[in-house]
Amino acid sequence: MARFRFQFLLTALFSTISITAAEAQAGRFFLMGDGVLTVNGQKVPFRQGDGNYDPAGLKALNQIFKADWAQEEERMDLRFLEAMDYIQDQLRGRGYNLKSGYRSPRLNQSLRNKGKLAAQSSMHMEAAAGDLILLGVNSADVYEFVKGLDCCGIGYYHGRHFHFDTGPARYWDETSSKTEDKTPQENEKIILQPEFDRYRSGETMRMKFMRATNYPFGADAMVEVLKADDSKVAGHTSLTATGKECLIVQDRHQGRTLSAKLPELKPGSYVLRIHFCNRYDYAKMPESILTRPFEIAKDLR
């Protein structure tokens, strides 16, 4: 059994490398499947052949995950759907069974109050997580495969289901999840997430704060653009056009509807660095954070 699992993961790894290289200029995300997700027995095309997303397909997936389609900022995260599709295709799964998808902050807190496995800053609240079974694939193999991608969050509790999200790269099991911790996080794990992984030079980037546990908080309106390989400053952009140096993020809605126009950049890999100008009395909140890397690409669909 161990030998079979090793061969399975090795095959998946080489398949990953070849397909990633072939799709390097194909779309907006680093991890993309064929644009068709099967969840709870429903086969849903959500991306068209020209690379554009199908609103009907996306709405159907949002209904399956119980996300709020009426509020655009609460819809299922595209990066998450694409990564799910990628994993389904790479591991040749027959589709997903979904146990838990989107959770409102109120529902997440209710689960915590009942002693359930729900983190304070759960990615379920960001519409970027699911507790899943990939049919036809051992959950332990999914766990090892996603760990190897070093892209996302994967939790495996040695049962049938696994947790998957497109937050920071990390992994855990039932002994290290720490979901029962009730110590206030005070924005300790806050992240800023660009909408896509690939952009054109000078394009407007939409982004959102995720894993924020406390409002309000302040963020410098001026954001640094750094080269991902050496952290040298390549330019600056602004989160707001109001002229204010410190943007006070009053609530969840505001924190999830941000945008900034990227400067003219050469093709390559970059990150944004944002400094917090007013952390109020949140002792655990970091002074600054980096986004996940994004790419300035020459050609996109």
Among 49-58, 188-197, 238-247, name the most confident range.
188-197
What average pLDDT does range 172-179 have in this prediction?
Answer: 78
DSSP 8-state assignment for residue 162: E
CA torsion sign for 62, 64, 65, 70 is positive
Nearest to 86 by CA among 4, 12, 172: 12
Residue of 87 and 243 predicted with greater confidence: 87
Average pLDDT over residues 291-300: 92
Q: Across residues 267-281, what is the average pLDDT?
A: 95
pLDDT level of residue 176 (50, 70, 90 thresholds): confident
Alpha-carbon distance values, 66 to 15, 120, 146, 149, 273 (Å): 32, 20, 24, 27, 33
List pLDDT tens digits, range 229-258.
999 999 999 987 666 799 999 999 999 999
pLDDT at position 286 is 97
Look at 40 and 301; give whichever has higher pLDDT. Answer: 40
This prediction's pTM? 0.87
Confidence of residue 184 (pLDDT cuts 50, 70, 90): confident
Closest CA to 131 of 110, 114, 108: 108
- Strand, coil or helix: what is 271? strand
**Token pair for 104:** 């409102």
pLDDT at 114: 62
Tell me, what's the pLDDT at 68?
Answer: 92
Tokens of 170: 């990390």
- Taking residues 271-295, what's their average pLDDT? 96
pLDDT score, position 111: 65
| E strand intervals along 178-299 | 191-194, 198-199, 204-210, 217-220, 222-227, 233-238, 246-249, 258-261, 268-275, 288-290, 294-296
